[in-house]
Structure 1
Amino acid sequence: MLRVVLTLSFLFLNLYACEGGFDSCINKVKDSNSLQNQTIQLPITKYTRLVFSTIKPKGKILKHDPFLALYIVKDSKRFKHPFRINMREPSGVAAINKSSSIEGRIFKRQIGLNQFAYFKYEVKAPAILTNSCCSLEGILTPRGVIEKVYINRFINKKDIRYSDIGIRVKDTNKGIKVTSYDPFMKKNPFKIGDYVLSMDGKKVKYSSTLMRRILFAKVGSTHNVKIKRNGKTLNIKVRTQQRLSGGYKVETYLEKYGLTFDKNLYIIAIDTKKKDYGLKVGDQLLKVNDKHVKNQKDVMKYISDFKFHPTLLFERNANFQFFINMN
């Protein structure tokens, strides 16, 4: 009898071993009940789960990242074989759900909070990215893949705030190009069209690397950034501020005024500590500086172009339109 018990215990302990490959990972996802409706609920310790959810999950919340829609919650089920994060280079990656695995790779990296990573093949979200040993490589959300370095930071850092130097960038053939900048950030030295060459003496070749360095920096820290502007190389000293939006928090740069929008540019929250512009929850933003806006990218583009104070056109109750001059 004892031999049978020991044999079963041995088999259970090796249920999710690397030899089982991605089939074992499918079993682990099912056994841990890690995919529930449109949420991901991964056991990361015996007593806690990492949750991806766009709505507040049930249970005792220990930590929350509203930008990535991540939570850490108490786990009453106490799954005995939590998921670990693989911080080494994986030998192979697959997107796992409760019934299948699709092997592939992340082919476009996560650029901060505004562009999540892309998996090589089309996979229905939510799903979990693991290596063949079932260690976590990322999670697939409706907006794309949240990479493991962001997940690891959220789990292990006490201060989960993100830093900001007031620029959004993209990769081009000429380098990392500034595509928009926050005009409300005090003494913001950047301009649209600048190319970022290095940060704190370290060259940066990709937007994903640059934005990660910025976001993970300590809020309030000072940094030296080398840029190229109109063919000239300039050295800029910047001080980080706390990031207010991005990712699953719609970003417009108007967050500095205490305004929070949904994806259709309706106001969903107003910070009463900020200046009162007579706006109400439910008002919809239609124009920025006489330019029609349909999404957050439009707002950020035209906000960056203003010279003095932005003029915004709102609509209330689908029949009353009015202008607001922000100052």
Structure 2
Amino acid sequence: MRNKRWVGLWFLLVSTTHAYDFSHCQKYYELASRSNSVSLFWQKGQVSFLHSTTPPKGVRILKKDPFIGFYLIQAPHTKFAYHLLDISPEAFKYPMASVSKTYARVGTITKRQERFLGHARFSVPIAPNGVVGNICYQIYGVGFKSKDPHAFIESKYIRRFLSQNTPYYGDIGVRVRSHGALVVELVDPFFKNNPFLEGDVITHINGQAIPNSARFEWVVSNLAYQSEAHVTIKRKGVSQTLHVRVDKRHGGFLLPDTFLERFGVVLDSDLVITARLEHLPAPLNTLRVGDQLVWINHKPIAPKRANHADKLRALQEALSHARMQGRIELLLLRRGLEFYIRL
């Protein structure tokens, strides 16, 4: 009944003033948010959602997706909350607004979200945890702290997060780039029975055309775990279909992605192992906390002065390229002693 009264007021203001006035939605926002989160209706209840690129401090985390920085936190229920709506052509028939505690500004969606980290954009700024909508209690997305004040997260991606018990992103063992076509750039050497080669061109997955990396990201991320994916590729101009058992991603997006994450390997800025799973298959069980990764196939992994992110990227590239060479010989430094292991 409360929400019905708010939408009734919305239509009343439209009809009496012949213009859309979203100022009353600020009051609704104050009653449907807290300083660090926004309240959403979900499964006949209410949840407190926030976005953060690092784990939020000073709150109890109930659910998390560190791949893309989504969190549900424990918080007292607010008087009101929001229903999530997917953006459809119908949404563009009515004016929209960016709403927060301090303002309600009319605008329009200028860019749809195409990737998990490639967010949508609104024509006017959106405050962190501000909302975008055209009715007070229904929203198309949520703002977040970003270098781009116009960026927001579409409800489609929030709904995906809410519907999962644990974060899941399907993986078929490759990293790709759009270069006129969708090209396999890197191949995971630890992905079981990986049939891909660097340079393969992916055209279809399970009969769906895959024109670019954004479409690849969404389709692959939503493939069912351990299902068989039928991937059509062109290799040296010849079409063929590969059959791949879908795995899950262990790194990527906001998390490190070197291909070693499936083994729980964490590396510092000097490529020194700071953590690993207790039980690893041979020969990876040779790895120890404190070991430094130095060379792969007799080549330095990265320049010593490179930053942490660049070193991790260089390691991922080196592992993929070594796999293409048919061997991975890893030089480790342990307590001043250098030695090779073959993976």
Output the TM-score relative to the length of structure 1: 0.76
- 1:201-280 correspondence runs (5 A): 201-261=207-267, 267-274=273-280, 275-280=285-290
How many residues of Structure 1 are paired with residues of Structure 2 in the alignment?
Answer: 307
C-alpha offsets along residues 206-236 of structure 1, whole Å, 9 cap, x if unaligned? 3222221211121101011111222121111
Alignment of 1:154 onto 2:181: no
Give the counterpart of 1:107 among 106, 111, 124.
111
Query: Per the alignment, in what secondary structure is the counterpart of residue 313 of structure 2?
Result: helix
Q: Which residue of 1 aligns with 2:80?
A: 81
C-alpha offsets along residues 160-210 of structure 1, whole Å, 9 cap, x if unaligned? 4222101222333x2222222212112211222222111111212232222
Q: Which residue of 2 aligns with 1:32?
A: 32
- Contact 2:206–2:231 (Cα < 8 Å) also in 1: yes
1:43 partner letter: S
Alignment of 1:44 onto 2:40: yes
User: Which segment drifts farther, 285-294 or 270-279?
Assistant: 285-294
Query: Per the alignment, in what secondary structure is the counterpart of residue 157 of structure 2?
Result: helix
1:69–1:32 Cα change, 3 Å: same
The root-mean-square deviation of aligned C-alpha atoms, in Å, is 3.8
1:88–1:145 Cα change, 3 Å: closer
1:97–1:322 Cα change, 3 Å: farther
1:181–1:211 Cα change, 3 Å: same
Alpha-carbon offset, residue 262 of structure 1: 6.2
How many angstroms apart in 1 are the aligned matches of 2:256 and 2:239? 33
Alpha-carbon offset, residue 147 of structure 1: 3.9
2:222 partner letter: F
Give the counterpart of 1:164 among 152, 155, 171.
171
Q: Which residue of 1 aligns with 2:182?
A: 176
How many angstroms apart in 2 are the aligned matches of 1:11 and 1:21? 17
1:142–1:10 Cα change, 3 Å: closer
1:125–1:233 Cα change, 3 Å: farther
How many angstroms apart in 1 are the aligned matches of 2:125 and 2:270? 26
Larger Rg: 2
1:135 partner letter: I
- 1:3-18 correspondence runs (5 A): 13-14=6-7, 17=10
> Percent of pairs identical after alignment?
21
Give the counterpart of 1:135 among 108, 114, 139.
139
2:102 partner letter: S
How many angstroms apart in 1 are the aligned matches of 2:21 and 2:213? 33
1:302 partner letter: A
1:167 partner letter: V
How many angstroms apart in 2 are the aligned matches of 1:136 and 1:81? 17
| Unmatched tracts of structure 1, length 5 or more | 1-5
- Contact 1:29–1:35 (Cα < 8 Å) also in 2: no
Q: Which residue of 1 aligns with 2:64?
A: 64
User: Which segment drifts farther, 127-136 or 41-50?
Assistant: 127-136
Alpha-carbon offset, residue 66 of structure 1: 2.3
How many angstroms apart in 1 are the aligned matches of 2:106 and 2:269? 31
How many angstroms apart in 1 are the aligned matches of 2:74 and 2:49? 9
1:207–1:220 Cα change, 3 Å: same
Q: Which residue of 1 aligns with 2:194?
A: 188
- 1:264-303 correspondence runs (5 A): 267-274=273-280, 275-280=285-290, 289-292=299-302, 294=307, 295=309, 296-303=312-319
- Contact 2:141–2:152 (Cα < 8 Å) also in 1: no
Output the TM-score relative to the length of structure 2: 0.73
